[in-house]
Amino acid sequence: MKIKYLPVYVLFKRPALFMRYIFLLLLLTTSYLTCFSQRTIRGTITAINNSPLPFVVVKVKGTTIGTFTDTSGAFRLTIPDSLIKKSRPVYLIVSATGFQSQLVQLADYDSVANLRLYFDASSLDEVVVTSIKPRYQEIVSFPWPPPEFSCSTVLDQNYFSNAHSLGDISGILLNALNSVGYSDRSYYYIPNGFALVTRIEQINEDGESLSGNARWSARTATMGKLSWRGYLRSLFFPTPGYFRIIVFAVTNKPFTSSGKKIGRDDASAWFHHGFNVLPEEIAMMRFRKNYACTALIYEYKKPESDEAILDIPSIITAGEHMERSKIIQALKRK
């Protein structure tokens, strides 16, 4: 529309024409502000073999804002600044027939112009964001493949028969651990799942947890009252201390150890550097029959005046560790 500039006195003499100009001015102002009050995300969604995925739904969580990918897998989504300011962080829900729905956090709105998602058709659960790295992967990834462990065992899937998501698996493990004294733990991201790490504890040679404060002490527990013979024997043959860390690895990816040995102090630090709760992005992942929960046992033997050494293999089996820690009994009572 071509605007004719008229003298101001003409506008005042013709109220209808004046109102028309005012309306047009407001319309142009609103359009101008709108251009600078929204963010546009453009991206492409492909399968793991890089073939485009058409008709994938891309929706902003908690809103009606959404779109579909075209035949080339491309999409364009406009998000108002008002929503960004109101709902930080903003999540995209990505779903398609035959694939597991995904929740992707938009942590940096200025760097997602070329957002690309990969659906892994083999697991139906994995999403890799190439333009921005998911926050939980960047900060709290567990060493993977895991460092060499003393022993391991895959837990019976019947313990998790009522689970539908990885969050359900976490809840079942937490209930069992809490009931037998493992109230301290932390979470890490691993491929297609999570690792739950217990605090280092002191055990006896048979794998049973020590009682009282000695259980969580980093110092080798001293023996109780000793006979003179026992005292003299301890001078020449100090009683070693035994320590244990349990890592529950929940994933549908087969794995083995990296072969790298890790010291007791470094392994103990796992407890301090992980998340206190399971991130929502991981908790929402669907639990399928191809998932397994593997208990990795890191057992350290420490003489009274020497460095702690990783016991490989452990004196007892991983199954015995699970029994004597009473975790298996707690899982059976779920």
pLDDT tens for residues 56-113? Answer: 888 888 888 888 888 888 888 887 777 766 656 777 888 776 666 677 776 544 334 4
C-alpha distances out from residue 85 to 36, 106, 112, 252, Å: 14, 13, 17, 37
Residues 126 and 139: their CA atoms lie apart, in Å, by 18
- Read off the pLDDT of each residue in 44-63 and give the average, rounded to a whole number: 77
More reliable by pLDDT, 241 or 322:
322
CB-based contacts of 87: which residues, under 8 Å, 6+ apart? 62
Centroid of chain to Cα 97 = 25
Kindly tell me if the per-residue pLDDT of 300 is higher than 50: yes
More reliable by pLDDT, 57 or 157:
157
Class level of CATH domain 38-133: mainly beta
Residue 136 is predicted with a pLDDT of 44
Structure confidence at residue 121 as a pLDDT band (50, 70, 90): very low
Residue 129 is predicted with a pLDDT of 35
Query: Cβ atoms within 10 A of the Cβ of 127, count?
Result: 20
Instruction: List the domain boundaries for the chain.
Output: 38-133, 151-332
Structure confidence at residue 33 as a pLDDT band (50, 70, 90): very low
More reliable by pLDDT, 327 or 309:
327
Residue with tokens 């779920």: 334
Residues 87 and 40: their CA atoms lie apart, in Å, by 16
Q: Which residues pair with 294 in a beta bridge?
A: 154, 249
- Read off the pLDDT of each residue in 126-148 and give the average, rounded to a whole number: 59
More reliable by pLDDT, 127 or 102:
102
Mean pLDDT of all residues belonging to the chain: 76
Residue with tokens 């035949």: 71
CB 86 within 8 A of CB 80: no
| Nearest Cα to Cα of residue 251 among 154, 136, 117 | 154
Length in residues, the chain: 334
Q: What is the pLDDT of residues 243-299, one digit of tens each?
A: 999 999 999 989 999 999 999 989 999 988 889 999 877 888 888 889 999 999 999
Element (H, E) at 236: helix 228-236
Q: What is the pLDDT of residues 187-209, one digit of tens each?
A: 998 888 999 999 999 999 899 99
Residues 88 and 83: their CA atoms lie apart, in Å, by 8
Residue 133 is predicted with a pLDDT of 38
Residues 313 and 301: their CA atoms lie apart, in Å, by 12
Kindly tell me if the per-residue pLDDT of 164 is higher than 60: yes
Q: What is the pTM of this model?
A: 0.59
- Read off the pLDDT of each residue in 220-235 and give the average, rounded to a whole number: 52
Residue 176 is predicted with a pLDDT of 96
Residues 292 and 156: their CA atoms lie apart, in Å, by 8
3-state DSSP helix/strand/coil percent for the chain, to nearest 5? 30, 30, 45
Q: What is the dihedral of CA 138, 140, 146, 152, to 10 degrees?
A: -150
Q: Strands (DSSP E) along 158-257, which ranges?
A: 185-190, 193-198, 201-203, 241-251
Write the DSSP string, 157-174.
Answer: GGGGTT--BHHHHHHHHH
Share of the chain above pLDDT 70, in %: 66
Q: What is the pLDDT of residues 207-222, one digit of tens each?
A: 999 988 889 887 765 5
Residue 282 is predicted with a pLDDT of 84
Residues 177 and 293: their CA atoms lie apart, in Å, by 14
